[in-house]
Structure 1
Amino acid sequence: MAGLGWLLAIIVGALAGWIAEKLMHARMGLLLNIVLGILGAIVLNAVLMVVFGGTLGGVIGQLIVGIIGACILIAIARAVRKPA
């Protein structure tokens, strides 16, 4: 989460992970919410930079990116864990 301080990145990551958890009907703890929110934002920011040459700015923009990225990570984890 470029441009956000560490504390704000953790708070935004936790909120993004929690919202993604609720949207995806997953059951995770606070630590995993933080990790998924931050990792989701990092991954989706990288994708947006490559595809569009930019990303959403500010706390709200990073929250949106974090939510979408965390939802993608939850979906990938579900696909990997499900037996074929």
Structure 2
Amino acid sequence: MEISGLISALVIGIVIGALGRLVLPGKQKIGILWTIVVGIVAALLGTAVASGLGVEDTDGVDWGEWLIQIGLAALGVAAISRVKLRR
């Protein structure tokens, strides 16, 4: 992977992670680094799921892929937040 791919994965991870946090109600007890990690993982998994469903490449904005990625990020943020609350 080239440096431009890493930078774009980081930026997409930040955006997806932030949107995943915004979807959840209340305050989440995780930091920005965990948000970025969850966002990157959700973006990668969301792309794979969208590819499996056949909605990864459409004309214009790929809304289906974005919704899947944001949903996965929200699940990841909620899971990490619950784990951190138990400690």
Give the TM-score normalised by the residue count of structure 1: 0.63
Q: Partner residue of 2:34?
A: 32
Which runs of structure 1 show a deviation greater than 3 angstroms over 4 or more consecutive aligned residues?
60-63
Provide structure 1 residue ranges, at least 5 long, that are not aligned to the other structure. Answer: none
Distance 1:42 1:56, change over 3 A: same
Which stretches in structure 2 are left out of the alignment for 5+ residues? none
CA contact (8 A) 2:17 2:70 kept: yes
Q: Over aligned residue pairs, what C-alpha RMSD do you find? A: 3.1
DSSP-derived class of the 2:56 partner: coil
Larger Rg over CA atoms: 2
Aligned pair count reads 75
Q: Percent identity?
A: 24
Aligned-partner SS, 1:72? helix
